[in-house]
Amino acid sequence: MRDFNFNSAIQQDAGVMSRVQVNLQPLMRLVYLWMGLGLLVTAGVSAAVTAAVYNNPSLIAAFASGWIVLMLVQLGIVFGLSFLINKISPNLALILFFIYAATMGVTLGAMFFGITAEPAVGGGFQPASEGLWAIAKAFVTTAGLFGVMTVIGYTTKIDLSKFGSYLLMALIGLIIASIVNIFLASSALDFIISAAGVLIFTGLTAFDTQKIKRLAASPELQQHSDGMVRLSIMGALTLYLDFINLFIFLLRLFSDRR
């Protein structure tokens, strides 16, 4: 789940930018602040989880048995924020966002162990250089693609909303193909899914950035208010999900392990 229903009272049509001279910086600054802090939380938790599993490999069994619960918690937070964002306090919404970022760190930490671990002399595991290199390449590529596309989404004069429905339909197809491949276990289909995922979330980054920019044009959001903070949290979660999904699909391409 990565698309959200913002309150219709603050949504503006595509022509608002030409009618009102506004300062977009307050909202956009908060969006990127929350997103950046969320990524830092995810990075810190993932590093701690990976180190913990190296020190105690039996923890991977606990993750394997509890990943469904973790996934349900993540989905619950996303759906909860999507539908209750205007009914809960901004502080609670921000706490839930960071909890989500932390749970994603647990997921990535287990993935990083699976990608990097190789048997060590004398028992146990040690990190493999090719696995570490795959993670580094995926992160650098993700940061570069995300940075370029969010700048394009913010500065382009082209209305990207007409592409949004196509991107969302492609995302639904991607999810269905991913579920099917759980049973097929096709390496060729897995490569196609990963490549398609990179393309889809690259496009969604620009689309979501422009959408948030247009919402930021609302005159009601030019001052620090609960409405602005709520929208900034949802905007941060949207772009955070674009970044994380782009990273995961690139990691699948750069790594030959699951």
Which residue segment(s) compose the domain that 241 sits in?
23-254
Please tell me the distance from the alpha carbon of residue 184 to that of residue 107, in angstroms, as a whole number. 23
For 83-125, how does the pLDDT look when each residue is reduced to its tens digit (9 = 90+)?
Answer: 998 899 999 999 999 999 999 999 999 999 989 988 777 777 8
- 18 pLDDT more than 50: no
Q: For residue 206, is it within any domain? A: yes
Please tell me the distance from the alpha carbon of residue 49 to that of residue 90, in angstroms, as a whole number. 29
Q: What's the confidence (pLDDT) of residue 216?
A: 78
Q: What's the confidence (pLDDT) of residue 1?
A: 47
Q: For residue 156, is it within any domain? A: yes
For 26-47, how does the pLDDT look when each residue is reduced to its tens digit (9 = 90+)?
Answer: 788 899 999 999 999 999 999 9
- Please name which of 3, 247, 255 lies closest in space to residue 104, comparing C-alpha atoms: 247
What average pLDDT does the chain have?
86
Q: For residue 73, is it within any domain? A: yes
- What 3-state DSSP class applies to 135? helix
Q: What's the confidence (pLDDT) of residue 76?
A: 94
Residue 119 pairs in a beta bridge with 125
Q: For residue 35, is it within any domain? A: yes
Q: What's the confidence (pLDDT) of residue 119?
A: 79
- 3 pLDDT more than 80: no
How much is the average pLDDT of 184-197?
Answer: 91
Q: Which are the contacts of 113, defined by CB distance < 8 A and separation ≥ 6? A: 49, 50, 53, 54, 60, 125
DSSP result, 13-63:
-TTHHHH-----HHHHHHHHHHHHHHHHHHHHHHHHHHHHHHH-TTHHHHH
For 116-144, how does the pLDDT look when each residue is reduced to its tens digit (9 = 90+)?
Answer: 988 777 777 888 889 999 999 999 999 99
How much is the average pLDDT of 177-205?
Answer: 92
Residue 220's pLDDT band, with cuts at 50, 70 and 90, is: low
- Please name which of 69, 143, 149 lies closest in space to residue 107, comparing C-alpha atoms: 69
Q: Which are the contacts of 199, defined by CB distance < 8 A and separation ≥ 6? A: none
Residue 127 pairs in a beta bridge with 117
Q: Which single residue is written with the structure tokens 């009102």? A: 20
Q: For residue 196, is it within any domain? A: yes
- 179 pLDDT more than 80: yes
Q: For residue 5, is it within any domain? A: no
| Number of folded domains that form the chain | 1
Please tell me the distance from the alpha carbon of residue 237 to that of residue 101, in angstroms, as a whole number. 9
Percent of the chain's residues with pLDDT above 70? 87
Percent of the chain's residues with pLDDT above 90? 58
- 173 pLDDT more than 50: yes
